[in-house]
Amino acid sequence: MTNPFDLTGQTALVTGTSRGLGQYLARALAQAGADLILTSRRRDDLLPFAAEIESLGRKVIPLALDVRDQHSIATMAEAAIAQAGQIHILVNNAGCNVRKPAFDVTWDDWNLILDTNLRGSFFVAQHIARHMADRGFGRIINIGSVTSVFGYAGLAPYGASRGGIRQLTMSLADDWGQHGITVNCLAPGWFETAQNRVMYQDKEWVDYLIDRIPLKRPGEPHDLDGAVVFLASELSRYITGQTLLVDGGISTGAMRATVKPKP
């Protein structure tokens, strides 16, 4: 029986793969058989991870990309299509955050986060979707967050950007479905990353977090493997415009905590 999760013969472009969850998402797709196009602001930062993926027997194309720069997006898309021939899957993962009380957020903070997380994701998708539409097939997976559906103090611009990703996903799904392109949002809950690692060094905060999660632990990177492969696979062919939360259940009861964080 053919494995419906097999991505052999397909090429996936994953943005923001020099570190963090982007590498785990890309690795999961490679393990399912996909060849990869990896991007980061500095191409050299991709080379160690590219070598790892090549050791799995996959083709890898590392490319420089600054999602805040229109010319960089166009140049990357042109190079990716020229070198890969076809792109079947796009994972819009590149993102950033500035964690501050809302009173302290600056104009530049807002622009950095929204330009990276929301505007960058749209224009990368636009360039790659044109190529997908010409072939009548594509899987676009936008990376959101539990903040796509819940608000958290200290994350106002980040939450706005991720909420925008959820809405953008629905709009693009309606726009591009006629071209055979599905667009979905994969929304992780609380996972330790380079951006938030300092928070995980505070035991009281971690205990507070765990108390709010029904499965009683933060996310581990491999917890995203099944979701990203599923959304890239043939099995998701009739699913579009949806947000899939991978959050251990925190979105079912955000107010259930009994342990209070430090003020």
The catalytic residue positions are 158
Place of tokens 């993962």: 93
Burial of 137 per CB tally in 10 Å (0-12, 13-18, 19+): middle
For residue 21 the two structure tokens come to 């969850």
C-alpha 77/C-alpha 66 separation (Å) is 12
What is the three-state SS of 74-123?
HHHHHHHHHHHCCCCEEEECCCCCCCCCHHHCCHHHHHHHHHHHHHHHHH
Please state, in angstroms and rounded to a whole number, the distance separating the CA atoms of residues 4 and 177. Answer: 21
Picking from 94, 20, 90, 85, the residue whose alpha carbon sits closest to that of residue 59 is: 85
List for the chain the helix, strand, coil content (%; round to 5).
Answer: 50, 15, 35
Strands 89-92 and 181-188 turn out to be unpaired
Q: CA angle, corner 119, sides to 118 and 124, nearest 5?
A: 100
